[in-house]
Structure 1
Amino acid sequence: MKFLMLLTSLLFSSLGFAENTVYDESRDRHIPIEISHPTSKEQCGKERKCRVAFLSAGYGVSHTKYTFLSKQLNQLGYMVVAIGHELESDPPLSVSGDLYETRSENWSRGASTLDFVKHNLEPTYPNYNFNDLLLIGHSNGGDISSWLANEGKDYIEIVITIDHRRVPLPRNKDIGVLSIRGSDYPADDGVLPSQQENEKYGICVKKIPKSRHNDMTDYGPAWLKDEINSAVDSYVKGLGCEKL
């Protein structure tokens, strides 16, 4: 078993991914993370720092199962930190009652985890810019990302959600927002902006026809992953909502 674990670790390292945990002493919490570096990481330096993205998985999906997104962001110059939010000791995600109320503990905890990882890793990676973060998350990971962005942190530059459904997108002119939508589940009322809010805050909403919520991971079809990556690529490059 130890040999198999070593082999798995070596395989991930050879692919440019490094698995690790960071320890939040204040919450006695060992947080799983996976770090992948920009394709041209040798260009990252203290004078010209490279960008950083925090990737949050959907509930019940491993944070290591979004490599299609990590690789795309690496090519765009980002160091990607994929973060595991749910531990075995955590209560299960609520499935009853007013879900916005009953799941808020999960989202608040996840937001605290993102904030901790930011401050924990920043001193270790002086060649990377942790003060203009890109937060990207699928489903519940998108809810967590939106929750943190709504807390008014000044170190968030962009939020990209992939078919999240519960937490309202940030309405903030200082934060760029893209929400990629599937076709099988609607978002709750108030999560997505009105047309007036779209124009006021510059929020982009991209719906992918015939796409399924649960397919928006490494396990999904190639065409869907390509569509998601294309939207992320266009948005990060600043091509505008109409080009997505």
Structure 2
Amino acid sequence: MKKCLKGLLLLSASINFTALADVIIDSSRERHIPIEMSHPIQAEVCKAESPCPVAFISAGYGVSHSNYQFIASLFKQKNYMVVAIGHELPNDPPLSVSGNLYETRSENWSRGAVTLDFIRNNLKARFKNYDLDNLTLVGHSNGGDISAWLANEGKDYIQDIITLDHRRVPLPRRGDVKVLSIRASDFPADKGVLPTVSEQQKFGSCVVTIPKARHNDMEDEGPEWIKTKINALIAGFLEENSCAQLASSARHTDYL
């Protein structure tokens, strides 16, 4: 493993976008967890008495946690603090590709959920101007599975969960957690992962498929039209547009 970063290093992540790279050490598990933090555009308005919201981003397996700048930029513009978290460390066992994947990958998801919980508790003690009691979890693929795993543990600090084509871990069926799952078109989710139409109505969750979108393209290296569509859906969700509105937006193909 490369020598851990000490302190915060200012990085130029993209045009008009800066992020802070850091490593948080979980000594109980001897894990040096890489994170990338982005502060909101109007950080000066974030106060202890009126804290700004926070979003955690978990990457797909094999994708760098820093490869979701298009999503981080959107949240930053919405005045969120964004924390992108690296879950896979060099000494971790590889993600299982055989057997009952829900069983053989559960250790990965459970470990990732512990990491999210640890990061949340660590940052809550350090950043009083940010609301870590009403957290938004965002995860692509395996990162979505990790996010869903944590949300299913009943943590009361999770407000929203947004997954990008995760496929294995059932989304929470909880009225106190808002759910958006943005689906690609090339792979189906496992049975029971996505809420049914009746469950979506009951719990206020939303499942939206982007036509012609590919699972592996839902990150920075994907085509611009997919990233634009994903951000439009996330923005609509944060603005509390109805699921019907989001689904109608996703079906429009004038961006292709």
TM range (shorter): over 0.9
Structure 1's 42 and 205: CA in aligned 2 closer, same or farther, altered over 3 A? same
In 2, Cα distance between equivalents of 1:11 and 1:231 = 26
Q: SS where residue 80 of structure 1 aligns?
A: strand
Map 1:41-120 to 2 at 5 A.
41-120=43-122
Contact kept? 1:118, 1:130, Cα under 8 Å: yes
Aligned residues: percent identity?
A: 59
Match of 1:11 in 2: 12
Q: Which runs of 4+ in 1 moved over 6 A?
A: none
Q: Structure 1: state its 5+ residue gaps.
A: 1-7
Question: Which deviates further from its counterpart, 9-18 or 169-178?
Answer: 9-18
Equivalent position of 1:5 in the other structure: none
- Alignment-mate amino acid for residue 97 of structure 1: G
The one-letter code matched in structure 1 to 2:179 is V
Aligned to 1:205: 207
Question: Are the equivalent residues in 1 in contact too, given 2:53–2:80 (CA < 8 A)?
Answer: yes
Say which SS state the counterpart of residue 11 (structure 1) adopts: strand
Q: Which residue of 2 aligns with 1:147?
A: 149
Give the unaligned 5+ runs of structure 2: 1-8, 247-256
- Look up the SS of the partner of 2:28 in the other structure: helix
1:11 is displaced (CA, Å) by: 2.7
Q: Matched residue pairs, number?
A: 238
- Greater Cα shift, 212-221 or 234-243: 234-243
- Residues 12 and 19 of structure 1 are in contact (CA less than 8 Å); yes or no, is this contact kept in structure 2? no
Displacement, 1:71? 0.2
Root-mean-square deviation (CA, aligned residues, Å) is 1.5
Give the drift of 1:184. Answer: 0.2
Asked if 1:181 is matched to 2:183, the reply is: yes
Task: Name whichever structure is richer in helix by fraction.
Answer: 1
Q: What TM-score, normalized to structure 2?
A: 0.91
The answer for the alignment partner of 1:219 in structure 2 is 221
- 1:27 match: 29
Q: C-alpha separation between the residues in 2 aligned to 1:171 and 1:235?
A: 17
